[in-house]
Amino acid sequence: MRMARENKFRGRRLDKGELVKGYLLKSSGKTFIVVKCETDFEGYATDLYAVEWYEVDPETVGEFTELKDKNGVEIYEGDICFDGTHYAVVIFQDGCFYLKYSFGMGYLFREIKNIEVVGSIWTTPELLND
């Protein structure tokens, strides 16, 4: 039996430019990443409150692949990975996550053990110049 998918996202903060991870929220034409929530139990109802969130650039939002690299680092859409020989960008296309190399594409499988996240297209795009 497959467990429920963990729907986490990452985006670049508008105020400081750093990448933050959490849950995606779109409201009033703006995009936010909610980093921390709290719950309030009253009777049978449970309310969820966002207590730490940041407005992010919607163009930088990437979804968590549910995979980790060889060092245990979470892999997100937009990450730049190195497989020991080549750099690739993690993309989402046609319902699947792929590694997009300069010479073609490859599937991002759970069995991939040799890739390492070395940056992202928003923080270290120069890695793709090689």
Q: Look at residue 91 in the predicted model and tell me its pLDDT.
A: 94
Residues 41, 46: Cα–Cα separation, whole Å:
5
Q: For the CA atoms of 7, 84, 123, 58, what is the dihedral angle to 10 degrees?
A: -30
Q: Look at residue 39 in the predicted model and tell me its pLDDT.
A: 73
Query: If we measure between CA atoms, which residue out of 5, 3, 23 comes closest to residue 97?
Result: 5
| Domain range list for the chain | 9-55, 64-129
Looking at the chain, how many residues does it have? 130
Report mean pLDDT in 10-residue bins for the chain, 130 residues. 73 95 94 86 65 93 94 95 93 90 80 86 86
Q: Look at residue 88 in the predicted model and tell me its pLDDT.
A: 93
Query: If we measure between CA atoms, which residue out of 56, 61, 101, 93 comes closest to residue 78?
Result: 61
Q: Which CATH code is given to the segment(s) 64-129?
A: 2.30.30.290
